[in-house]
């Protein structure tokens, strides 16, 4: 509570006490109450006419605004191509005279496209820092209302606020960042309440067109013109209205992809800067183990590792904390699920089968194997890869299918029967088989996916599934003892590292 609020509370208390005392002494307090009520009505109606209630209906979007954010391009891991392209584009703001001399039309919009958590917001903030611009952020969903005209009003407010903010902070430029822009700027006429959507998008186009070439304000603001650059992010740029993408609006589309191995290492280094690490932590190896993770996942891994260290009462983050954190980010919190001894053994055999075959068909591919239940999974094998393969051959895909089916094969071999635990493995193996056939890599050769019959497709996939199952069974039959040892080890210590498994295989 602020100082003023406290004073009001004391005053209200004193007046209330005074009135109660007067009433108790037999004084008629009715006229005082009537006058107080009258004053209340007058104040409320003044608020209404001054726009207090109205502005609540057309509330400004919740803007994350402020001076230049303390985020630089050095804080963005990987994304080298995106950074390069963006910095190049930002020269429009940093050297406006040169741009004018050459008669280049200034840039008005930059669109970041890519999966969630890859650093699009971070790049926009770094751009604001790089160009010493004021920064305002909003989300597309904040402009979407049922009432026609509200979204358009919010767009106007957003641009007006950007100009106000830049002037207040003494900056010549402002960057407006709109996340999830597809929500407010999808193709026109697609939505049910399309009048409202269309008006919102039209207003955005009007504002962007109004950002006049040199002054950036459409001449509305006179000499203290503020240049505005609109940055937007979308996971689905294909949904955006074509008018938004035409030259003169979002002139640059910057692709922000999931980080590759080097980029993952870079991101991990950035987020470990403020964390004390044990000497056993190898960020290069961690980067190899976190294939498919976005920057946001990696930030979460470092944070969860620090929490795990705190729980252990340790002063430094160790390899064990990172292993725990990766599993947690990937699969969720450990579950205290009641599992019988028999089921635990089955899970250990199943995961042991996956791990063993994975290591045999792709040496070095297992990061860890565990029987700790997390989320929906009762156990899990985490794969680590030295490379980020973009293209896969038939050999790669067949190996993946054998790994998928190895869990069920191991159960059959050591426990005499398979269980329902393998159903998602079959689905996954079938999906890989379908991909293999439809990519023209099977014995059917290249084919037209629209013309091949479902029966023929399934026959081809079934052949591949049977081959993979046979391969997994043979590999495990030759190493029954090792599989049994691995299952026992998992029951004993819950998790086995890939390196431990490899040294047993090599022995
Ligand atoms: P969304 O599409 O879900 O809005 P986004 O692409 O805008 O996601 P950010 O909000 O920029 O993602 O990233 C979320 C967090 O993840 C950042 O605050 C940062 O901690 C971390 N992060 C993401 N990408 C990177 C990166 N390339 N380098 C460093 N940290 C990153």
- The three state secondary structure string of 427-471 is HHHHHHHHHHHHCCCCCCCCCCCCCCCHHHHHHHHHHHHHHHHHH
Please tell me the pTM assigned to this model: 0.76
* Largest Cα span, the chain: 103
DSSP 228-261: EEEEEEES-GGGB-HHHHSTTSEEEEEE-PPP-H
The two structure tokens encoding residue 208: 């962007």
Distance 316 CA to ligand 1 centre (A): 25
Atom of ligand 1 minimally distant from the CA of 270: 29
The pLDDT tens digits for 468-493 are: 999 999 999 999 999 999 999 999 99
Q: Which two tokens stand for residue 373?
A: 């239940």
Cα of 149 from ligand 1 centre, angstroms: 32
Check pLDDT > 70 for residue 59.
no
pLDDT at 43 over 50: yes
Is 78:267 a contact under the CB 8 Å cutoff?
yes
Average pLDDT, integer, range 14-33 = 74
What's residue 56's pLDDT? Answer: 35
Which residue has a Cα nearest atom 31 of ligand 1? 295
DSSP assignment letter at 189 = T
Phi, psi of 107 (to 5 degrees): -75, 135
The percentage of residues in the chain with a pLDDT greater than 90, rounded to a whole number, is: 49
In this structure, the strands spanning 64-66 and 134-139 are antiparallel
How many whole angstroms from 106 Cα to the centroid of ligand 1? 28
Residues 285-317 have pLDDT tens digits of: 999 889 889 999 999 999 999 999 999 999 999
Pairing type for strands 64-66 and 495-497 reads unpaired
Quickly state the pLDDT bin for 91 (edges 50, 70, 90): confident
Give the closest residue (by CA) to ligand 1 atom 19. 296
pLDDT tens digit string along 184-229?
877 666 555 566 667 888 888 888 887 754 444 444 444 457 889 9
Strand partners, 369: 381, 496
Lowest mean pLDDT among 194-208, 268-282, 318-332: 194-208
Which of 2, 222, 14, 204 has the alpha carbon at shortest distance from 109? Answer: 204
Average pLDDT, the chain: 84
Strand bridging mode 173-179 / 227-234: parallel
| Domains of the chain: residue spans and CATH | 3-57 (no CATH), 64-255 (3.40.50.300), 261-331 (1.10.8.60), 341-506 (1.20.58.760)
Q: What is the residue whose two structure tokens read 């700027």? A: 185
Catalytic residues: 351
Q: Specify the 3-state DSSP secondary structure of 277.
A: strand
DSSP β-ladder status, 380-383 and 366-370: antiparallel
- Around ligand 1, the residues with Cβ closer than 6 Å are 76-79, 116-122, 179, 233, 235, 267, 270, 295-296, 299
Q: How far is the CA of 180 from the centre of ligand 1 (A)?
A: 14
Residue 188: per-residue pLDDT: 66
């Amino acid at each position: 509570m602020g100082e003023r609020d406290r004073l009001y509370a004391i005053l209200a208390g004193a007046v209330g006490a005074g009135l109660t005392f007067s009433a108790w002494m037999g004084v008629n307090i009715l006229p005082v109450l009537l006058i107080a009520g009258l004053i209340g009505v007058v104040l409320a109606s003044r608020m209404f006419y001054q726009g207090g209630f109205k502005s609540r209906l057309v509330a400004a979007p919740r803007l994350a605004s402020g001076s230049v954010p303390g985020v630089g391009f050095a804080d963005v891991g990987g994304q080298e191509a995106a950074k390069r392209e963006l910095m190049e584009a930002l020269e429009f703001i940093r050297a406006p005279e040169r741009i004018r001399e050459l008669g280049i039309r200034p840039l008005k919009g930059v669109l970041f496209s890519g999966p969630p958590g890859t650093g699009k917001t971070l790049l926009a903030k770094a751009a604001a820092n790089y160009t010493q611009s004021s920064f305002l952020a909003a989300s597309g969903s904040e402009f979407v209302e049922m009432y026609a005209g509200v979204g358009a009003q919010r767009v106007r407010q957003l641009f007006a606020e950007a100009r106000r903010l830049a002037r207040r902070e003494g900056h010549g430029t402002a960057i407006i960042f709109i996340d999830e822009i597809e929500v407010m700027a999808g193709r026109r006429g697609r939505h049910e309440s399309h009048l409202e959507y269309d008006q919102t998008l039209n207003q955005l186009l009007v504002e962007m067109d109004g950002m006049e070439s040199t002054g950036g304000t459409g001449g509305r603001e006179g000499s203290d013109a503020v240049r505005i650059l609109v940055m937007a992010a979308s996971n689905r740029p294909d949904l955006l209205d074509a008018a938004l993408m035409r030259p003169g609006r979002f002139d640059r589309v910057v692709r922000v992809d999931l980080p590759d191995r080097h980029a993952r290492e870079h991101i991990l280094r950035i987020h470990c800067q403020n964390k004390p690490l044990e000497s056993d932590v190898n960020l290069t190896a961690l980067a190899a183990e976190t294939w498919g993770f976005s920057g946001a996942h990696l930030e979460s891994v470092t944070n969860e590792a620090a929490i795990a260290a705190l729980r252990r009462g340790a002063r430094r983050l160790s390899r064990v904390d990172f292993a725990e954190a990766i599993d947690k980010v990937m699969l969720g919190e450990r579950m205290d699920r009641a599992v019988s001894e028999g089921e635990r053994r089955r899970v250990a055999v199943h995961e042991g089968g996956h791990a063993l075959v994975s290591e045999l068909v792709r040496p070095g591919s297992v990061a860890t194997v565990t029987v700790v239940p997390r989320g929906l999974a009762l156990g899990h094998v985490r794969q680590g890869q030295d490379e980020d393969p973009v293209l896969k051959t038939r050999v790669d895909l067949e190996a993946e299918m054998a790994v998928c089916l190895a869990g069920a094969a191991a159960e059959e071999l050591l426990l005499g029967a398979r269980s329902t635990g393998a159903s998602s493995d079959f689905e996954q193996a079938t999906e890989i088989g379908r991909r293999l056939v439809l990519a023209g890599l099977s014995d059917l050769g290249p084919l037209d996916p629209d013309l091949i019959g479902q029966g023929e497709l399934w026959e081809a996939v079934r052949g591949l599934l049977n081959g993979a199952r046979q391969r997994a069974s043979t590999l495990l039959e030759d190493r029954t003892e090792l599989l049994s040892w691995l299952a026992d080890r998992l029951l004993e210590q819950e998790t086995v590292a890939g390196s431990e498994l490899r040294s047993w295989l090599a022995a």
